[in-house]
Copies of this chain bind each other. A is one copy, B any other.
Amino acid sequence: MIRLAVIGRNFVVDSMIEAMKHVPELELCGICSRSAEGAREFGERYGIDPAHRYVGIHALAHAEDIDAVYIATPNTVHAAQAVAMLESGKHVLVEKPAAVSAKELGHMTAAAKRNGKILMEAMMPLYTPAFAVAKRLIRNIAPVRCATLSYRQYSSRYDALKQGKVENAFNPELGGGALTDLGVYCAAVAEGLFGTPHRIGAEAMFLETGVDGLGSASLMYNGMMADLTYSKICDGARGAEICGEEGVITLDSVSRPRYVTLRLRSGGVRRYDGDRLDLERFDIKRLDDDALASIELDADGHTPSDAVQPLPTMTHELRHFVHLVEHGSVQLAGFDLAHTEGVAAILDGIAHCCDIKHGAKK
């Protein structure tokens, strides 16, 4: 059993705790907040023993009966908190973006390796069955020539912003903005599918608070390019489109992919429902053609009536985190860390192109 404490009270924490119910190896044992009031309120909501309601990072660092932490605080404090937790011998699952720069991420990965503890970014889409299906299907359309990965969502906090109230997600001092909040998903999916680009071009549109409200980027690879488009101030209806010489693959969402469609130029359309994959521990290596056939949808593209009830999307990343912790190997986490470093480098590149600064007013 992995005894886990949560740092932060962002609304994403509620979703994570809901997903935790589907991961029996994880036990929600503690919560940590900046204030006694926050710790009390959050502790009561989730029935956490008062002895495990920590006020401030240092109190949590000294707790010996906590094995791992989940960090969901503002982006600019991820690095310091993660390093403190790793140094005190705890495994760390940190919300995206793991850090606001590749340099900060470097401090975190160094601390993980120094202490032999797991550091993993909670990059939701990468651990979903649908992502693995898409990655597996790419060979059918090879060579890939271009892709558009899009995540546009009108933020509920934008209404507050228009009324003059700057919440974290729109606060540049806390690493807010469209790139770190939504663009990071597009970058992670691009990195996961295509690797590290050799050049980046990007544009952004800034809001009055100084954060980027929306933007787009072109990641240039050998023989292909991937366009990322993201916005926090308007909705969009599209996920990912991956275009190869032999066909097109689409994902319904970049952040929470479930449905994958394969259109071959030679004719024929196939759709897959990632939530119908019946794999106890999801492993792309086991995703052979037979497994793919078994999750195919019916002919008109709808989910069959016996469709499974999907797990909360975050369940997949939690299961992967448990897998890493249980095998107790930093090397095992190396693949995930290399990916996170790749994403951080892409975000650095985009921020450089657009002159996006995080925490600049500190």
Contacts and interface: CB of A to CB of B under 8 A. Distances in A.
B218 A235 contact: no
Given A227-B227, A235-B263, A236-B248, 10 more contacts: A145-B213, A146-B214, A150-B241, A203-B220, A205-B223, A215-B225, A216-B218, A216-B225, A234-B244, A236-B241
A19 interface: no
14 contacts: A145-B205, A145-B234, A146-B234, A148-B238, A152-B243, A203-B220, A205-B224, A214-B225, A216-B218, A234-B248, A235-B265, A237-B250, A238-B238, A238-B241
Contacts of A231: 145-146, 243
A128 interface: no
Interface residues of A, number: 39
A44 interface: no
A229 interface: yes
A81 B126 CA distance: 55
How many copies of the chain does the oligomer comprise?
2
A154 to B, nearest CB: 6
Interface of A: 144-146, 148, 150, 152, 154, 158, 201-203, 205, 213-216, 218, 220, 223-225, 227, 229, 231, 233-238, 241, 243-245, 247-248, 250, 263, 265
A148 B216 CA distance: 10
Nearest to A219: B203
Nearest to A224: B205
A33 to B, nearest CB: 33
Nearest to A228: B227
Contact of A146 (B145, B218, B229, B248): B229
A341 to B, nearest CB: 24
A263 B234 contact: no
Contact of A225 (B150, B203, B247): B203
Nearest to A200: B203
A243 B235 contact: yes
A59 to B, nearest CB: 42
Contacts of A248: 234-237
Most B C-beta atoms less than 10 A away, residue of A145, A158, A201, A244: A145
Contacts of A237: 241, 248, 250, 263
A167 to B, nearest CB: 17
Most B C-beta atoms less than 10 A away, residue of A203, A248, A265: A203
Nearest to A144: B234
Nearest to A150: B148
Contacts of A229: 146, 148, 227
Contacts of A233: 145, 245
A202 B145 CA distance: 17
Nearest to A148: B229
Contacts of A220: 203, 205
